């Protein structure tokens, strides 16, 4: 007997980042965060629980995968099997419509799609908050790829429930994420590893203490479609996270010289009056955020910028959803 389902999920870019784990077993983040789900970038994942299998298998963009990526996925599938009370191996086939080799994080869309397809194949009917809550055990940011549009991920310290929900739909604000690819090589230290050291930075406590203020300003700026306020808080939040990374023990430097040169150029473009801002995750690529009406001008400048290898355009997108087996990503 085979039980199968296919799901599609988009990645997300955090405007207020999470960095640090408060409770490793419950995978509770050190701070609440806020993001925009972005498409057309997407992961499509098919999960087949098959009694004829003798072990789990992962096929990623056409290649069979072994080693740590398979072990991590098996740990997540074990959680689903336990929840469903079923002991059957799974074949997981996952495809991205954006190059993994572009150095863009794919774990958010990957684990959101896996959570939805896996639970649905097992006949578990979870609500959106339940799915988001579950997805965070695969990758923290995956919890924010279950809902669409503008999303906040909150943890209740009393009940310890921790899930993301949408506070504005994708069409609320026509923003563009122009992702400037600076390097395509895989990062030396994954975010999961890197953030284990977050509390070794003396700056982390101050970053956490100030997070409610930044979240409030960011959410209000989005609701008011106030780009100038958004730009200021998004940059400050990204720089704060990188300051923590650089001052952890051992220190982590994700920025490349070209990332810094681009951030400086963006400040100069702002001084010219262009509505534009930047944010960087655990890597050197620069997410250049602007209103869609200014995107052509910004992309033209980015393509000419020394050290920018490619520019990928992304827009606010919808939630994770079940899809047909043979649909295109």
Give the interface with ligand PMV as residue ranges (CB under 6 A): 14, 17-19, 33, 105, 107-108, 139-141, 191-192, 281-282
Which residue lies nearer to ligand PMV by CB, 139 or 211? 139
CB of 238 to ligand PMV, least distance (A): 9
Which residue lies nearer to ligand PMV by CB, 121 or 135? 135
Neighbour-count burial for 127-165, b at 16+ CB within 10 Å, e otherwise: ebbbbbbbbbbbbbbbbbbbbbbbbbbebeeeeeebbbe
**115, 170, 251, 317 from 231: Cα distances, Å:** 33, 19, 27, 20
CB of 259 to ligand PMV, least distance (A): 14
Which residue lies nearer to ligand PMV by CB, 235 or 281? 281
CB of 266 to ligand PMV, least distance (A): 19
The encoded tokens of residue 105 equal 């994080």
Which residue lies nearer to ligand PMV by CB, 6 or 191? 191
CB of 241 to ligand PMV, least distance (A): 7
CB of 140 to ligand PMV, least distance (A): 3
Which residue lies nearer to ligand PMV by CB, 115 or 282? 282
**In what helix (H) or strand (E) does residue 94 lie, and over which residues does it extend?**
strand 90-96
Report d(CA 257, CA 287) in Å as an integer: 16
């Amino acid at each position: 007997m085979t039980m199968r389902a296919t799901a599609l999920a988009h990645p997300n870019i955090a405007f207020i980042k999470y960095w640090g784990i408060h409770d490793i077993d419950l995978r509770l983040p050190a701070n609440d965060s806020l993001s925009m789900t972005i498409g057309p970038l997407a992961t499509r994942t098919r999960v087949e629980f098959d009694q004829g299998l003798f072990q789990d298998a992962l096929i990623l963009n056409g290649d069979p995968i072994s080693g740590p990526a398979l072990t991590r996925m098996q740990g997540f599938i074990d959680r689903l099997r336990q929840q469903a009370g079923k002991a059957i191996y799974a074949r997981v086939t996952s495809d991205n419509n954006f190059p993994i080799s572009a150095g863009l994080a794919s774990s958010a869309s990957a684990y959101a799609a896996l959570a939805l397809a896996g639970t649905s194949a097992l006949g578990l009917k979870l609500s959106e908050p339940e799915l988001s809550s579950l997805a965070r055990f695969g990758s923290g940011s995956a919890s924010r790829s279950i809902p669409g549009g503008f999303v906040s991920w909150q943890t209740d310290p009393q009940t310890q429930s921790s899930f993301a929900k949408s506070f504005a739909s994708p069409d609320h604000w026509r923003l563009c994420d122009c992702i400037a690819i600076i390097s395509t090589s895989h990062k030396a230290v994954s975010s999961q590893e890197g953030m284990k050291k977050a509390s070794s930075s003396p700056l982390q406590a101050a970053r956490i203490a100030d997070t409610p203020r930044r979240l409030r300003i960011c959410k209000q700026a989005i609701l008011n479609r106030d780009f100038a306020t958004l730009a200021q808080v998004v940059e400050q939040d990204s720089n704060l996270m990188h300051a923590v990374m650089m001052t952890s023990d051992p220190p982590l430097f994700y920025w490349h010289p070209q990332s810094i040169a681009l951030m400086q150029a963006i400040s100069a473009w702002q001084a010219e009056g262009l509505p534009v801002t930047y944010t960087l995750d655990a890597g050197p690529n620069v997410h250049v955020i602007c209103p869609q009406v200014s995107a052509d001008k910004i992309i033209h400048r980015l393509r000419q910028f020394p050290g920018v290898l490619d520019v990928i355009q992304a827009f606010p997108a919808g939630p994770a959803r079940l899809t047909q087996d043979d649909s295109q990503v």
